[in-house]
Amino acid sequence: MNLNGHYCRLLGRMEIKDKKERTVAVLLTDEMIIWIEKLLVAREQFIPTGNSYLFATASEHSYFRGSDVLRKFAAECNAKRPASLTSTNLRKSVACMAQVLSLKEHATESLATFIGHDIRVHTQFYRLPLDVVQVARVAKIFLAAERGKIAESSGKQLSNISIDDSE
C-alpha cells in the first residue's frame, strides 16, 4: 500500500499567505472541506463581491486573522494555558517532534517549507538538546519491552518502531 497516496486521499490541501507573504500549505479533512463549501455558498449573502478572502468580513477588503480567532477560542475553551495555543507554538512543536523521527535532510527541508519555516531557522532555533532526542528515541525500546512487544520490533529501525498509546 502506498501510504503517500493514502494520505493524499484523506486530506485536502490549500495554500495561504503567511504574514511575510510566503505561501504555506494547509491540510484539510473532508469535514473541513464540506464546511468551506457551505461557507462559499452562503458568502454572497453577507460578503461584498470585491472581497476575495475565504474568511472575509463584511468589509470590502477585510478578513478574519487566524491568529486572532485562535487566541479567542483558546481563551474561551478554558485551556490551562490559552496563551500557549498558537500557530507558532504548533510549528515549533512539529519541528521538535520531527527531530525524534530522525528525518533525512530532504525530508526535514520539506517539512520546514511546509510549515512555513526557512530551513536555517528550523535547524538552528528548534533543535532539541541531544539528551532529549535520545530519551525520546530510546524510550520506544523500553516501552516496547515493558509491554512485551520487543520481538515485534526485531529488524526495525528505531524510527519505524511505534508504540500504541491506547494500551
- pLDDT tens string 27-47: 888 999 999 999 999 998 999
Cα-only R_g, the chain? 20
Question: Mind listing the pLDDT tens digit for each residue in 56-78?
Answer: 999 888 999 888 999 999 999 98
- Nearest-CA neighbor of 96 among 59, 118, 129? 129
Q: What is the 3-state secondary structure (H, E, C) of 17-65?
A: ECCCCCEEEEEECHHHHHHHHHHHHHHHHCCCCCCCCCCECCCCCCECC
Domain boundaries, the chain: 1-64, 130-160
Mean pLDDT of the chain: 76
pTM of the entire predicted model: 0.56
Q: How many Å apart are CA 134 and CA 147, to the nearest integer?
A: 20
